[in-house]
Amino acid sequence: MKELRNVEADLRQFRLRALVATAAVIVAFTLIWARAYYLQVVQYENLNEQAERNRTAVVPVVPMRGEVEDRNGEILASNYSAYTLEITPSKVPDLDAVLSELEPLVTISKRDRRRFNKLLSETKAFEAIPIRTLLSDEEVARFAAQRWRFPGVEIRARFFRNYPLGATASHLVGYIGRINQREQDEIESWPDEERANYRGTDYIGKLGIEQFYEKELHGETGIERIETSAGGRAVRILDSRPARPGRTIELTIDAKLQQLTEQLFGDRRGALVAIDPRNGEILAFVSAPTFDPNLFVEGIDVESWRALADSPDKPLLNRAIRGRYPPGSTYKPFMGLAALELGKRSPQATTYDPGYWIFGDNKFRSHGDEGLGNVDLRTSIVKSSNTYYYALANDLGVDAIHDFMAPFGFGQITGIDLHGEQSGILPSQAWKRAAYKRADQQRWYAGETISLGIGQGYNSFTMLQLASATATLANRGVQYPPHLMRAIRDSRNSTAQTMSSVTPRDLNLNQKNVDHIIEAMVGVTQEGTSRLSFANAPYLSAGKTGTAQAVTIGQNEKYDAKKLAEYERDHALYIAFAPTDAPEIALAIVVENAGFGSAHAAPIARRVFDYVLLGQYPSEADIAAVQQGQATAPIGEPRAVADVPLIRTVDPTTSE
């Protein structure tokens, strides 16, 4: 039977199907084209960057840190290259097991473990922590052969900081250490350019010059764009921008003088600051005892830290800018000058000194209870009469004393290029009202003024302030701010940027009055309390000894060192400058709890002056005598400064 079909209907159905299929193909190709356009054109930059990131890595290149030198080019802080073994805790499931497995390959001491544990508690888990530094080539080779066994453990070659003179000038130079969280937060607050410059940086200046000139010493971080394989291994360097090493800081100090002065202190505590009064350059900056900054570079271990932190000698305290001391009788030349400048005394006017001074119901003792009779200005300084200055302070009043002393820098920040400087106390009625809360404490009593005249009472200054004031007096009232940086040199072209010139401040002192004070201070070294220390010196110096109370002794009590603990005994002080006609050096020194300035402080000053003015280095026997407080004038045959080498620590790159 023949089938009847509607050809026309079939044809329409076919055409419809063909049209739908064609439309589907067109839509599909349109979508493909649109997607290709979107990926290849619209998203090209973004996808190309992602692809580059998948096959490349941008690695920061940490610059070599700049060096620190003394005025003669002696290196105080430098760098050396070595291998370190580091562990990333987040990638190591069992630290103790890994450390045990590493020991056959790399020697890990108990000190290394203690330091690692300390850093572990202070560092984020995803940051690499050194377990061993200064690996030998043999240790590097042994570990490299077994590298596959230790995920999360790697060897890095990098620069290490070294302080070749060890403890010499440690409070001045400072040290670097690993960046802690507080410092990291501070870096995050810096401008973008400065923050980016610290990418990849693990260490930062913590103290001293290393901290103050951190950004100059750090240098400029470079970058390397590295092509990597699918496994993350570096294949080749595609592009790079070299790191720019940090700049070299040239200091004003003389490292050999610094080392000698620290040696002269021996086991005693104290501070000394020596300044060139002609420009404010600091020649020696001593805080005794010192410490070895090399201990801190890779993180100090707990045992070493406790030895320093718990020591009653406080070796970590920078006594030169943070130690505050009553100036004692070293204050008398400034008080004498105040008397002349303010018209309260003439050079010839006398005060009767019976060995004490009565004020109200209090008896203020003077000169070991021995009266000096009628005392004029010169005698008051040469013989160090307390009675003269008790009466003077009472006549001047606390506010007049404050206003005269303030321009010399007492009780004020000097602005030295170190962080952490203390201002000390130069008392006044306004100061006391601000310092205390209770009304009875805020009131200034007339009896409190008396002790100010002899550098006691509320007076509390740093040795830097006292040295700066002495330099101003030596310079006859012309004041230069003290500073430690002499020049900054670029590491690439050795271009030096010297300390910008500073306009000195003139205190406009009456030069005849200054002459009277200086002549009296010369008398101290020729016939007074420091005459034995400066006997036969071929130059003329001006000085003043001082003995200051460390603890308060009642006005009616007699001081007896034998009845007091060592830390309660008087401090020995001395200020001086030389030569008197054209001073090249001025200094202030304190030897804590040592007693008389003439026995313990002045002998150190004599050796410092001989070094600077004569080029002489004391004999070994003389150094030993000074350390024991048993020296006056130098003994033995002095040596030429050039013939005495600096004492350096063991080179860290060599075996001990």
**pLDDT the model gives residue 38:** 75
Task: Tell me what pLDDT residue 87 has.
Answer: 83
> Is residue 598 scored above 50 in pLDDT?
yes
Q: What is the mean predicted confidence (pLDDT) over 584-601? A: 91
Q: Is 329 a catalytic residue?
A: yes
Same structural domain, 242 and 271: no
Query: Where residue 221 sits, what CATH number does that domain have?
Result: 3.90.1310.10
Report if residue 135 sits inside a domain. Answer: yes
Output the CA torsion 417→422→424→428 (10° steps).
90
**Residue 607: inside a domain:** yes
- Within-domain flag for 107: no
Domain-located, residue 108: no
Q: What's residue 53's pLDDT? A: 54
Look at residue 223 in the predicted model and tell me its pLDDT: 81
What b/e readout covers 567-599, taking b as 16+ CB neighbours within 10 angstroms? eebbbbbbbbbbbbeebbbbbbbbbbbbbbbbb
Q: What is the pLDDT of residue 578?
A: 97
Which range is least confidently modeled, 114-128, 134-148, 240-254, 344-358? 114-128
Torsion of CA 547, 552, 555, 556, to 10 degrees: -110
Q: Would 469 be classed as within a structural domain?
A: yes
* Lowest pLDDT segment from 300-309, 341-350, 558-567: 558-567
Residue 518 counted as domain residue: yes
Last residue in a domain, options 225, 251, 277: 251
Residue at 94 is within a domain? no
- Measured in degrees and rounded to the nearest 5, phi and psi for residue 429 equal -65, -40
* pLDDT value of residue 656: 43
Alpha helices in 189-228 (DSSP H): 192-196, 208-212, 214-218
Residue 297 has pLDDT above 60, yes or no: yes
Task: Give 433's DSSP letter.
Answer: H
Q: Are 145 and 267 in contact (CB under 8 A)?
A: no
The reply to whether 523 and 558 lie within a common domain is yes
Q: How far apart are CA 578 and CA 588, in angstroms?
A: 13
Helix (H, G, I), strand (E, B) or coil at 315: coil
Q: Which of 170, 329, 460, 598 is catalytic?
A: 329
Q: Which of 251, 276, 310 is the last residue of a domain?
A: 251
Number of domains in the chain: 2
Range of the domain at 540: 255-301+326-486+501-643
- For 283-300, give the DSSP string: EEEEEES---GGGTTT--
Task: Assess whether 430 and 509 both reside in one domain.
Answer: yes
Element (H, E) at 27: helix 7-37
Q: Do 281 and 146 fall within a single domain?
A: no
Residue 43: other Cβ atoms inside 10 A:
12
Does residue 390 contact residue 366 with C-beta atoms inside 8 Å? Answer: yes
pLDDT tens-digit profile of 411-443? 999 999 999 999 999 999 999 999 999 998 999
Same domain, 480 and 544: yes
pLDDT at 74: 95
- Output the pLDDT for position 22: 83
Whether 607 and 636 map to the same domain: the answer is yes
Q: Give tens-digit pLDDT for 488-537.
A: 998 766 666 776 677 899 999 999 999 999 999 999 999 999 999 999 99
Query: Span 35-52, mean pLDDT?
Result: 69
State yes or no: pLDDT of 51 exceeds 60. no
Cβ atoms of residues 298 and 309 within 8 Å: no
Both 263 and 412 in one domain: the answer is yes
pLDDT in tens, 615-654: 999 999 999 999 999 999 999 999 999 999 999 886 665 5
Token pair, residue 453, equals: 């005249």
Q: What is the arithmetic mean of pLDDT over 249-272?
A: 96
**Do 292 and 144 fall into the same domain?**
no
226, 283: one domain: no
* Arithmetic mean of pLDDT, 195-216: 91
In a domain, 283, yes or no: yes
Q: Are residues 283 and 159 in the same domain?
A: no
Domain of 389: which CATH number?
Answer: 3.40.710.10
Q: Are residues 234 and 295 in the same domain?
A: no
Instruction: Give the pLDDT confidence of 324-360 residue by residue, as tens digits.
Output: 999 999 999 999 999 999 999 999 999 999 988 888 8
- Which one of 251, 286, 315 terminates a domain? 251
Q: Are residue 240 and residue 335 in the same domain, yes or no?
A: no
Using pLDDT thresholds of 50, 70 and 90, give the confidence band for residue 270: very high
Over range 303-319, report the average pLDDT.
93
- Distance, first Cα to last Cα, the chain: 115
Decide the pairing of beta strands 75-87 and 153-162. Answer: antiparallel
The confidence score (pLDDT) of residue 369 equals 62
